[in-house]
Chains A and B, each alone.
Chain A
Amino acid sequence: MYEHLETAKNQTNLKRIVVDPVSRVEGHGKVTLLLDAENKVQQARLHIVEFRGFERFIQGRPYWELPVLVQRLCGICPVSHHLAAAKAIDQLVGVDPVNLPVAAEKLRRLLHFGQVFQSHALHFFHLSSPDLLFGFESDISKRSVIAVLGAYPDLGVQGVMMRKYGQEVIRMVSGKRIHGTGAIAGGMNKSLTKAERDYLLEGIDQMVEWSVASVELIKKVHCSNLPYYDDFGTIRSNYLGLTKPNGALELYHGGLRAKNDKGETIIDHVDYCHYNDYIHEEVRSWTYMKFPYLLSLGKENGWYRVGPLARVNNCDFIDTPLAEAARVEFKAHSGEAMVHSTLAFHWARLIETLHCAESIKSLLNDPDILSHDLVAQGEKRYEGVGVVEAPRGTLFHHYQVDENDIVTKANLIVSTTSNNMAMNESVRQVAAEYLSGQELTEPLLNNLEVAIRAYDPCLSCATHAMGKMPLQLELINAEGQLIDKLVKHSNGDIERNSHA
C-alpha cells in the first residue's frame, strides 16, 4: 500500500504540484503532490475543498421534510438521498421495510433503478468515456463528451439518450427529473398511470439493448489493455455493500455484507440499523471528507471500497439474466475471488446499468405499480436509519427526532466518503508508479484524475464533518519560515505553537 505517501517525512525543499479542480467529477476537489529534486513523489493527497453541512442544518426541521430537503445535497443522485431519508422516516411512523405496501416498495425500486441507470450512464458516457476512448494522456481538446460525440456520434448520442431515459423514469415516478417528491413517510404519494407506464415501456427494449452493447464495449476496452487496466490505480481493499438475503445484488434494501481482499466474509446480512456497531468514521485535518472504517479491523486496516465494484464483487449472483452472465465473465477475467482493478469500476458500473435496465423492464410489466395502496402507518418512533445502495455506493441516513417531530440529530455516511481512503490510495499508487521521477506535464497529471474518476466520486455530497474538524493554520514568511501555528484538535481544543 501507499499510505507512506499521505504525509512526506521531510517537507522542506519539495516542489508542490496542484491539480485544481479535479474535473469531470461531481463537486470540488483538488490533488496535491509534493516532489523532491528528482521529481520523486513524496506526498500525494486528494483534498475535498467544499463544505456542505447538511447534517447540522436539518436539525430543528420537521422529519417529513427530510426526503425532500436532504436530496438537495446532490443534483446527480438526489433520488438516493430521497429514498435513504424516506426509509429512515418510514421507521419514525412505525413502518418497517416488511410493512411497506407492496406497490410503494416497487415504485421506490423503479425510481431507484431509473436513478442508478441515469447516473451510471452519465458517468460512463459524459465523464469517463473520453479517457477510455482517446487515452489517459490525450490532448485536452479530446477530454470531453463533445469530442466523443464528434468521433463516435452513435455512441455519444446513445449515452445522452440512456441518461434521458433514466431521468424520464424518475420524472414519471416523482414528478420531476431532478428533486421531485414521491416517497413520503410510510409509502409513496402516487402510483404510475397506465399512460405513464406505457410511455416508459416504449423505450425500455432499446435501453436493454444499448446497455448490453455498453458492457461489451467496456469489456473490449479493458481486456485489450489487460495488464495496464488491471494495474492502473489498483489497490487491494475490503468491500462493503448491501445484498439480498439470498446473496443477490441489491440496490434498494438488504443486509450489509463486507468481504476482505481475498473474498472472505467480514460481516454478512447485518441489519443496517445497527451500522454504528460496525462502522466508525475518522476525521483528518487536511480534508473536509471523513474516513470511515470497519470497527473490527480498526482505523489502519478497516477502510473499504463501496460502489459498483464492491457490489458486483460482493454479491453471489445478479437476479437478472443478462447482467448475471456479464458478472460471471467479469469475475472470471481476474482469476481472483475479488476483482481489485480500480478501472474495473467502469466495467462493474455498466453491468449494473444493464441490471437496472432489465429490472426497470420487469417492474414496468408488474401491475402492482399501478396500485393505489400506497401508504402504511404504525406507532411513532424516535429514531430511524435508512440505507440504500446509491450509484456511488452504500449510503447511510440516520435521524433522531423529539416528541414534537423535530429532527434533533442526523448522521449521513455518504457513498463517496466510504471511498475516501481508497481514492487517496489510488492517487498515491498512480503518483508513485506512473508519475514519480518524470517531468510532470498536464496530460500526465490527467492520470491522477482518471484514477479518481473511476470511483465516480460525488464530492459535494460527502462533506459534512462539522464540529469535529481538526484544523491547522500556519503563517509562513516570504523566506518559507514558519512564523506562527494554530491547531484546532478534533476535541475542540485550540493550541498555539509560536515560532516567532
Chain B
Amino acid sequence: MSKTITIDGQVIPFEEGQTIMEAATEAGVYIPHLCHHPEYTPHGSCKLCNVNVNGRTCSACTFPAMEGQQILNDAKDINEERKKITQMLFVEGNHFCPSCEKTGNCQLQAVAYHLNMLDDHFPLFYPHRELDASHAEVLIDHNRCIFCTLCVRASQQKDGKDVFAISGRGINKHLIINAESGLLKDSELEATDQAAHVCPTGAILIKRTGYQVPIGERIYDHTQIDQVSLNSENIQHDN
C-alpha cells in the first residue's frame, strides 16, 4: 500500500524521497513557485511554495513528503502571504511589465496574475541596477533579477560551468558573474547554455529576440501559470 499525504483534503500518494512539491505536481496539484524547477536541486528561497504542514509553515519544494501529513495549500491566508511575497519581489526590483520583452512569457508576472495581485502595495524601491549587455548573444538586466538562483544551478548542474553566483546579503544581495571583469562577455556563458534560458523573469535574455512572438501566442496569453506549470513539469518528469 502506497504512502499518502493530504493536500487541501485531497489524498495524494507519494514515493519515498519525494518532496511535497514533487508529489503534488505528479498528482496535478499546483503549488505556486518561482525558484523551483524540477530539473534542478531545490533551493527553497523564494518562499512562494510555503504550505502549512500539520500546523507548521514549510517550503513545499524542500520539505519531504511524509506519511499522513495534513497540508494546506490553496488557502486564502496562505495565498495572501504569497501575494505579499510577490509584491515584495516587484517593489525590490524594477519590473516594468508594459515594455518588458518577457511580458506574457514571464513566470513572475504570471504568478502575480494567478495570485490576483492588483497593485504593488509596498512602496517601490526603484533600486539603481545595471544592464550587462557586453555579451554578443546574451543580455542581463539586473533590474529584473529575483535571486531565484536558477541560473546559478543551471550553470553548475547542466552546463558544467560556474558562470553565476549570488553575492551579498539581505537587501544588498546581487547576481555576480564569474569573470575577473565581472562582465558576461568575459565569462564562459554561451547562448546555448541552459543557464541562458532558465530565467523565470526577464533578467537573462537572448539578445535580439524580443517581441518576436505575437500577442496571443505567448505562454500565458490564454493559459494560467498553474496549468502551464503542471503540464510542462509533468512532461519533463515523464521524460
Closest A-B pairs by Cβ, 8 of them: A175-B215, A404-B133, A69-B99, A190-B214, A181-B211, A64-B210, A189-B214, A406-B133
Residues in chain A near residue B213, CB distance under 8 A: 189
Whether A68 pairs with B101 at a CB distance below 8 angstroms is: yes
Whether B131 pairs with A65 at a CB distance below 8 angstroms is: no
Residues in chain B near residue A443, CB distance under 8 A: none
Whether B216 pairs with A175 at a CB distance below 8 angstroms is: yes
| CB within 8 Å of A: which B64-101 residues | 98-99, 101
Whether A175 pairs with B139 at a CB distance below 8 angstroms is: no
List 6 other contacts, CB 8 Å, given A189-B212, A405-B207: A72-B99, A174-B215, A175-B214, A175-B216, A181-B214, A189-B211
Residues in chain A near residue B217, CB distance under 8 A: 190
In the complex, A184 has a CB within 8 A of chain B: yes
Whether B133 pairs with A181 at a CB distance below 8 angstroms is: no
In the complex, B134 has a CB within 8 A of chain A: yes
Closest A residue to B214 using CB positions: A190
Which listed residue (B99, B208, B211, B214) contacts A405, Cβ 8 A? B208
Which listed residue (B98, B131, B212) contacts A60, Cβ 8 A? B131
| CB within 8 Å of B: which A16-68 residues | 60-62, 64-65, 67-68
In the bound complex, what is the Cα–Cα distance between A406 and B134 (angstroms)? 10
In the bound complex, what is the Cα–Cα distance between A55 and B208 (angstroms)? 21
Residues in chain B near residue A67, CB distance under 8 A: 211
Chain A proximity of B137: nearest CB distance (Å): 11
Which listed residue (B98, B101, B214, B215) contacts A64, Cβ 8 A? B101
Residues in chain A near residue B216, CB distance under 8 A: 175
Whether A65 pairs with B215 at a CB distance below 8 angstroms is: no
Whether B133 pairs with A405 at a CB distance below 8 angstroms is: yes
Whether A65 pairs with B210 at a CB distance below 8 angstroms is: yes
In the bound complex, what is the Cα–Cα distance between A174 and B214 (angstroms)? 8
Residues in chain A near residue B210, CB distance under 8 A: 62, 64-65, 68, 184
Closest B residue to A190 using CB positions: B214
Closest B residue to A182 using CB positions: B214
Residues in chain B near residue A64, CB distance under 8 A: 101, 208, 210-211
In the bound complex, what is the Cα–Cα distance between A213 and B84 (angstroms)? 55
In the complex, A392 has a CB within 8 A of chain B: no
Residues in chain A near residue B134, CB distance under 8 A: 404
Specify which of B98, B213, B214, B217 lies most central, judged by the most chain A CB atoms within 10 Å of its CB.
Answer: B214
Specify which of A68, A72, A180 lies most central, judged by the most chain B CB atoms within 10 Å of its CB.
Answer: A68
Residues in chain A near residue B98, CB distance under 8 A: 72, 179
Q: What are 15 A-B contacts defined by CB distance under 8 Å? A: A62-B131, A62-B133, A62-B207, A62-B210, A65-B101, A67-B211, A68-B99, A68-B101, A69-B99, A181-B215, A189-B211, A190-B217, A404-B134, A405-B208, A406-B131
Residues in chain A near residue B101, CB distance under 8 A: 64-65, 68
Specify which of B207, B215, B216 lies most central, judged by the most chain A CB atoms within 10 Å of its CB.
Answer: B215
Whether B208 pairs with A68 at a CB distance below 8 angstroms is: no
In the bound complex, what is the Cα–Cα distance between A192 and B134 (angstroms)? 37
Residues in chain A near residue B131, CB distance under 8 A: 60-62, 406
Residues in chain B near residue A175, CB distance under 8 A: 214-216
Residues in chain A near residue B208, CB distance under 8 A: 64, 93, 185, 405
Specify which of A69, A179, A181 lies most central, judged by the most chain B CB atoms within 10 Å of its CB.
Answer: A181
Residues in chain B near residue A189, CB distance under 8 A: 211-214
In the complex, A496 has a CB within 8 A of chain B: no
* B179-208 interface code vs A (CB 8 A; 1 in, 0 out): 000000000000000000000000000011
Residues in chain B near residue A190, CB distance under 8 A: 214, 217
In the bound complex, what is the Cα–Cα distance between A182 and B210 (angstroms)? 11
Q: A68-B99, A68-B101, A406-B131 are in contact. Are A176 and B215 (CB under 8 A)?
A: yes
Whether A68 pairs with B211 at a CB distance below 8 angstroms is: yes
In the bound complex, what is the Cα–Cα distance between A61 and B139 (angstroms)? 11
